[in-house]
Each structure stands twice: as C-alpha cells, then as structure tokens.
Amino acid sequence: MLATQSFKTALVVEGGALRGVFSTGLLDGFLEAQFNPFDFYIGVSSGASNLAAYLAEMRGRNGRIFMDYSLRPEFINITRCIRGGHLMDLDWLWDITIREIRLDLAAIYSKHKPFITVITDIQTGRAVYKVTSAEDLEHVLKASSAMPVFYRGYPKVEGRPMTDGGVTDAIPVGEAIRRGARRIMVIRSRNRTYSKCHGISEHFMRWYVRRHPALQQAMVKRVERYNNAVALIRTPPEGVSVVEICPPESFRVTRLSQDRHVLQEGYEQGRSLAMNAIARWKGMLPG
C-alpha cells in the first residue's frame, strides 16, 4: 500500500543476528559525524535494533550488546536448545538490556520520523511493516528477531503471533520504494558477492514450521525473495537511486559468532566505512 504522505529518503538496515555488528559500527560512525538525512527508516531483526540505538543517539550501546551480552552463556546455549529450550534466549537479552541500558524511547520518537520494523505473521505467512511507537517498540523489536528454531515461540503483536521479519522481507528496499522513497541507503550484513541458496538450514527450518502451512510456504520463497531484493538494489526502477553499503569480503562474523575479537573486528569494519558511506550518499564518491 502506498503511503499517503510523501517521503523522499529512506534508510534500510538488514538483520542477520550477530552479523548485525557491522551495521551498528557503521551507524555509530554516522552518529559521530552527526549524519542523519533520512525521512524514514525500515529495519529487520538485529538491523531494526541497531536502527533504534541510532535514532536514540546512543553510540556504543548496541556494540556493547554484541560484544558483551551476546557472549554470555545465558544468551546462546546449544545444550539448552537440544533439551528443548531457546538457542538464543531473547527473553533474557531483552529483560537485562531494558534494565541496564534501555533505549531512550523519547529521543527516538522526538524526531517525528516513521520507524518501521518488519515482522512476519505466522498465520498468513506475510510480512507486516509495523510503524512503531514508544509504547510498543521494544516488544516489536523482539518479535522481529524471533527466528524459528533459534527462539522457540511466536511473540504476539496486536494479538497475532509473529516471527522474524527476515523470513518474508530480509532487505525491505521494495517497501521503502512503495512508501515513496526515491533515494535509499541500504546497509547489508552480507558482502556484495553473496547470493542466498537453498542450504541444509533452509530445509530444516521448513520442516520445523511444518505445523504452520503459511509460514512454511513463506520459508520456501525466502531464498527467491532475498535474491530478488538484491537485484532490486542493483537495478532500481526509474527515478529511484540506491546506495548499498556492504561488509568487506574480509568480514568474518557469522550468525552465531562467539569470538569477541571477530565481533570487534566486524564492528570496526562498519565504523571505518561510515565516512565512505556518507560521501557516497552526498555524491562525493561513485556508487
């Protein structure tokens, strides 16, 4: 559905669990440069959480989550998962970070710019583009990160069970265009040459959600949707320009990285590219 209000510029941030350390480094670099020329924002999973810290102007907050809280045994626990619990305990992570380093919700929404988080409705298998508010943001961010298998549950948003937004729209550049954006920056969590394929994890996830036919069908289309989004970034429609920012080929962070040095390296790779990204946005550099 097209937005009734005309927006021109958008910032889109991909998720990817621990790979999101790249985008939080880049966004911290933007904060250092006081760079925020965007009219609205769309994030998915950890990308949405990183956007929240950026809009709250809390430089370093999410870097601490990646390089401290995410490495604690309470968060990622394979033994717990084998016994039927969460692989990634989002309930614990949300509870402790809300207590200790809570987002400045007032600062986020004082800008009066739409902040949209992508979640997936398990009953319809469709992406939901939730325009967040101070009242629901923290819960919606958790729902957007609740990847099946990794988190055993479907948080309810407005009474409907939801799961990770990356299932249905991992890189929502198309939604940004539908909402009127004509200049878009997309921050990726994969390097430029990456192409999604049907691996073992994809097949296992489809089996895992077999009791939810619409969600299972969304899983079937996940690879195609992802690669189509990348193609749209590279060949946008007439009148639309996209600046794509990817981690370098040397980026070593994986979805479940537990090496602090690797995560710190990924954060610094993002932060070091901030000025380049700003220059590209301003037309000072090609691409």
Cβ-based neighbours of 39, under 8 Å, separated by 6 or more: 7, 8, 9, 10, 113, 181
| DSSP letters spanning 51-113 | HHHHHTT-TTHHHHHHHTGGGSTTTB-HHHHHTTS-SB-HHHHHHHHHHHH---HHHHHHT--
Residue from 23, 28, 45, 70 carrying the catalytic annotation: 45
203 CB-contact burial (10 Å; exposed 0-12 / middle 13-18 / buried 19+): exposed
Cβ-based neighbours of 194, under 8 Å, separated by 6 or more: none
- Across-strand partners of 164? 119
| Degrees, nearest 5: CA angle 144-55-97 | 60
216 neighbors 156 (Cβ within 8 angstroms): no
45 catalytically annotated: yes
Tell me the two tokens of residue 5. Answer: 């209000």
**Residue whose tokens read 């489809």:** 206
Distance CA 143, CA 156 (A): 8
Residue from 28, 89, 121, 164 carrying the catalytic annotation: 164
Residue type, 166: G
Distance CA 175, CA 118 (A): 10
95 catalytically annotated: no
**56 phi/psi in degrees, rounded to 5:** -80, -5
| Residues catalogued as catalytic | 45, 164
